[in-house]
């Protein structure tokens, strides 16, 4: 059973009533678990050979006697296997997309998630000479499903890096502003044309420019938006073709903190 409780009147003790929604989700949960199990297994099995391929191609690149053409070929093996690895990883996160987008909720610090996520993408950014600046000076307390929020942050940060050409820049800011936790990821990348912008949340949609730049499924941003909405937040995308993209995620500050500040 899935039980959702909502307080209808949130003003102090007087006249507050609670709405309980109870759904039987047995079949849905079973089907979802099976799908998750299958994709997790497939992804796990694929990851190993891919890692071996990348590792060996990288080792080969260290050899002195390579001709420029052989070097180029090894580099393209590394790049293609890297893209496959990213896709395999996104298979798992995609399959974990629940019906609510919010399963295990706890009081968490988004700053922690942000810093961990950025650290995991630093090697990719460095390999492409992209500078990544992070500014998150205070705790960013939210009541949320940490796994899903990591999914959101991973998606917007990795897109910022993925869609930014060599020598570009990605600036990330996490702050508390007006009772909300605000995360912005601004890149100096390929951008999204005005005609494509309304479609980027549509499953499988990818711009022509994105397809030329790198691999991807066209699923991540829509899933991120669903997750953010399920947490009472908003995800906004501002972009200009050829100039860069800024993604802004706003989430409600954890209630305890909001009361403390009021
Ligand atoms: P993908 O797996 O293709 O990266 P997403 O769902 O994360 O899928 O994003 C959907 C599409 O939105 C991308 O294919 C790309 O066309 C566009 N997009 C998302 N983020 C950016 C960005 N930072 N810069 C340019 N285009 C972006």
For residue range 41-62, list pLDDT tens digits in order. 777 788 888 888 999 999 999 9
Q: How far does CA 74 lie from the centroid of its chain? A: 29
Q: How far is the CA of 198 from the centre of ligand 1 (A)?
A: 12
The contacts of residue 209 (CB under 8 Å, 6+ apart) are 190, 191, 192, 193, 241
Which residue's CA is minimally distant from atom 21 of ligand 1?
159
Which residue's CA is minimally distant from atom 14 of ligand 1?
206
> What integer is the mean pLDDT of 27-43?
75
The pLDDT of residue 84:
83
> What integer is the mean pLDDT of 77-104?
70
Q: Residue 80 pLDDT more than 80?
A: yes
The pLDDT of residue 98:
47
> What integer is the mean pLDDT of 130-142?
96
Q: Which residue is it, tokens 């605000």?
A: 182
Q: Which residue is it, tokens 């000479």?
A: 129
pLDDT tens for 167-218 read 999 999 999 998 999 999 999 999 999 999 999 998 889 999 999 988 888 8
Q: Residue 11 pLDDT more than 80?
A: no
Percentage of the chain with pLDDT > 70?
89
Q: Mean pLDDT in the chain?
A: 86
Cα separation, 115 vs 3, in Å, equals 33
Site to substitute for ligand 1 among 86, 209, 210, most atoms within 8 A of C-beta: 210
Report, in angstroms and rounded to the nearest whole number, the Rg of the chain calculated over CA atoms: 21
Q: How far is the CA of 205 from the centre of ligand 1 (A)?
A: 8
Helices H, strands E: what count in the chain?
A: 7, 9
Torsion over CA of 54, 220, 151 and 170, rounded to 10 degrees? Answer: 70
């Amino acid at each position: 059973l899935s039980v959702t409780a909502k307080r209808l009147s949130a003003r102090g003790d007087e006249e507050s009533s609670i709405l309980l929604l109870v759904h039987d989700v047995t079949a849905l949960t079973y089907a979802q678990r099976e799908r998750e199990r299958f994709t997790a297994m497939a992804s796990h099995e694929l990851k190993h050979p891919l890692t071996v391929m990348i590792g060996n191609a990288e080792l080969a690149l260290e050899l002195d006697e390579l001709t420029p053409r052989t070097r180029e070929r090894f580099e393209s093996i590394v790049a293609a296997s890297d893209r496959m690895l990213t896709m395999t990883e996104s298979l798992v996160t995609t399959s974990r997309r629940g019906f609510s987008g919010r399963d295990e909720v706890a009081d968490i610090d988004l700053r922690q998630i942000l810093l961990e996520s950025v650290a995991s993408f630093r090697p990719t950014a460095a390999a492409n000479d992209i500078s990544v600046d992070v500014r998150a000076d205070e705790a960013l307390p939210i009541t949320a499903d940490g796994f899903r929020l990591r999914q959101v942050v991973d998606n917007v940060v990795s897109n910022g890096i993925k869609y930014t050409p060599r020598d570009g820049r990605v600036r990330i800011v996490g702050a508390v502003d007006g009772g909300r936790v605000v995360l912005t990821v601004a890149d100096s990348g390929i951008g999204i044309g005005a005609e494509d912008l309304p479609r980027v949340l549509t499953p499988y949609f990818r711009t022509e420019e994105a397809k030329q730049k790198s691999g991807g499924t066209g699923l991540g941003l829509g899933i991120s938006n669903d997750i953010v909405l399920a947490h009472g937040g908003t995800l906004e995308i501002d972009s200009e073709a050829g100039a860069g993209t800024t993604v802004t995620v706003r989430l409600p500050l954890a209630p305890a903190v909001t009361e403390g500040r009021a």
